[in-house]
Amino acid sequence: MTEVAKNIIQLRLTNQLRCLYTIIRDENTKRADFVFYSDRIIRLLVEEGLNQLPTKPKNVVTPTGATFHGYEFEGKICGVSIIRAGESMEQGLRDCCRSVRLGKILIQRDEETAMPKLFYVKLPSDISKRYVLLLDPLLATGGSASMAIEVLKQKGVPDERIIFLNVLASPEGIKVFQEKYPKIKVITGMIDDGLNEHKYVLPGVGDFGDRYYCV
């Protein structure tokens, strides 16, 4: 883990991570491999997201009869995916948290203006009392993520309880979170070079949702 800025956390760039990103960036990588290796990265992001959650002491008795002074998470969590690409990260969360509650927000970008539009929201009724792991593989302009966060805030979720997970981020998107949402933690696997004239992350992975879901 590397703390890029106060609220920006990047996974430690290990040899394994370098290889995983090389595979998913390759335009010749088959869909099955793209899904498999993306899932490995997503699992690492979820694990780091869980590391950021507060804990409280809990004592348990082991099978030897001894007492172990351990910990448990302080509050309930839920995942909220930004449809559709964000749904690719749901299984990674389920793998780490059994029976986790999930919400969905549908935001689509206008290809001409690059501005986000909100189409659909479905969230747990008690989301204001939970820690939220916001899921979206790519942080580009930050427009969709910002709109999703505003939806969560309108539902009563404080900034301090939101953790945004993404596979790749742009410097422009990171800047949005540094300036607009300094209390929200962003956990990313890698920060890329920037955005092109079409607002796509470079060097990037292309359209993550298409490569993950389309044969």
Residue 164's DSSP bridge partners are 134, 186
Rounded to a whole number of angstroms, the CA Rg of the chain reads 18
Distances in Å between the Cα of 155 and the Cα atoms of 63, 139, 149, 150 are 43, 22, 10, 9
- 26 counts as catalytic: no
- 207 counts as catalytic: yes
CB 109 within 8 A of CB 115: yes
Residue 62 has a CB neighbour count (10 Å cut-off) of 9
Q: Which of 109, 110, 141, 192 is catalytic?
A: 109
Q: Which DSSP letter does residue 14 get?
A: -
- 130 counts as catalytic: no
- 193 counts as catalytic: no
Distances in Å between the Cα of 99 and the Cα atoms of 3, 68, 125, 134, 146 are 30, 26, 16, 17, 27
Q: Which of 26, 55, 113, 193 is catalytic?
A: 113
Q: Which of 26, 110, 126, 207 is catalytic?
A: 207
- The catalytic residue positions are 109, 113, 207, 210
